[in-house]
Structure formats: C-alpha cells, structure tokens
Amino acid sequence: MSMYGGVGLQDTISYEGSGVELFHDFALCVMVFILCVVVGMFYSITVGGGSVVSGYSGSNYVEFIWTTLPVVVLLGLSFPSLALMYLSEGPPGGSPDLTFKAVGHQWYWSYEGGDFLDFGVDSYMAPLGDLSEGSFRLLEVDNSLVLPFGAKVRLVTSSTDVIHCWALPSLAMKVDCVPGRLNTLSVSSVSPGSFYGQCSEICGINHSFMPIHVEFVDWGTFLAYVAQ
C-alpha cells in the first residue's frame, strides 16, 4: 500500500495505472485551488466587507475572468483524462500480444483464451476451509487468471446474466461486463506478482463473493500453465 493507503489507492503496477495516480493528484490540486479561491472570496465578502471585490462591481474584466477560468480548468482536466481513457481501452503501438476473455456469472468468473490453445477455466471464491495461513479471506480463488508480465494483453469482458464489473485496483482498471456486449481494456504489468480485485457492480445476493485474482508470471511459467 502506498502513501495513499488511507484513502484506498494501491500501488500501481502498470504505466496506465501510474498515469491514473498522477491524474488523481493533479485533479486534487485543482480542487484545492478552487476551494481556496471560493473560501477567499467568501471571506472577503462576509468578513472583510467586500474590500477585494468592491472595486470591480459590474466590471467586464471580472466577468471575463470568471467565465474563461473555469473553461481553462475544464480543458486542463479533460485532456489527460481522455488520454488515459484512450490508453486503457487498447495497447498503444500496435496489436496486443495476447487476448483473453473474462465472463461474469452469478456469482463467479470464467476466463477463456485461444491464442495458443483453446482453454477456459471457472474461477470461484475459495472456501474458508481451504485457506492456508497468510491467505486473504474472500479474495482467494480456486483458479486464477495467469498472464505474462511485460506483455500487452487485451481483455474482452462480457456477462451471461446481469451486469458485473471487472475491477483490479492495482491496475487502476474497472470495466462493466454487460450481457450481449463486449467491452475491451488493455492489461499489462511491469513486474510479476499476485494481485486481487472484486466485482464492483451490485449484481445480486452473492455480489461480495466473486473475487478476482490475477497472477503475472514470466513467459516460461505462462507457457507451462497454458500447456496444462
């Protein structure tokens, strides 16, 4: 957990996730700046007797400033936001190395792949009795999604019943899984590791019991996993 652990942000493991974290910091600074301006104006009008703004009553200059400044702020927020949305929906610089499909069910996940061999696994939450010391309650699964780190992976999501949501905080990613529709996002990691997420859509009585577990491994381990 990073310095943002108190507000729930995790250390990111991808370039897109790092961009989301930087955009969060930038947007927070903009919000603090706006708050300071509003509080300062409120103090000037109520406590200070309006000494700051009284000289500009009916001024075209002041009206121009308070019209153009919000436009500049919104443009400053929109450009990096749109860039991050573009990067998260597809890998830059060409086609992906691998394609996987994540399908939401009530209440488990299934993963499919067909780049090397056609295979599919169902991922259920591990029962409490199967957990070992050091395992995470309500987050461990019987079959994880295994991906090679450093590769550009395209993840296609859908659902067979209701709307689910595939979310992995370490990648700063969250995408809805809608029945009859395919949504795509780019998944990549700069380091190996084991990372957890959960369905972030209220999809029914067992919504809290369909965790997501992704393991990023080297290519040799990944190929051995696919061969099984």
- Work out the mean pLDDT of the chain and round it to a whole number: 83
Q: How confident is the model at residue 214 (pLDDT cuts 50, 70, 90)?
A: very high
pLDDT digits (tens, 9 = 90+) for 84-111: 888 777 655 567 888 899 999 999 999 9
- The two tokens of residue 44 are 């000037």
Q: What is the mean pLDDT of residues 208-217?
A: 92
Residue 52 is predicted with a pLDDT of: 53
- CATH topology (fold) of 98-227: Immunoglobulin-like (2.60.40)
Closest CA to 88 of 177, 163, 153: 153
CA-CA distance, 224 to 148, in Å (whole number)?
11
Residue 4, φ and ψ in degrees, nearest 5: -95, 10
Q: Residue 36 in contact with residue 29, Cβ under 8 Å?
A: no
**Predicted confidence (pLDDT) at residue 37 exceeds the cutoff of 90:** no
Q: Per CATH, the architecture of 10-89 is what?
A: Orthogonal Bundle (1.10)
Q: Collapse the DSSP code of 162 into the 3-class scheme (helix H, G, I; strand E, B; otherwise coil) and give the result.
A: coil
Fold match between domain 10-89 and domain 98-227? no
Task: List the chain domain ranges.
Answer: 10-89, 98-227
- The two tokens of residue 89 are 């929906």
CA-CA distance, 90 to 88, in Å (whole number)?
6
**Predicted confidence (pLDDT) at residue 3 exceeds the cutoff of 50:** no
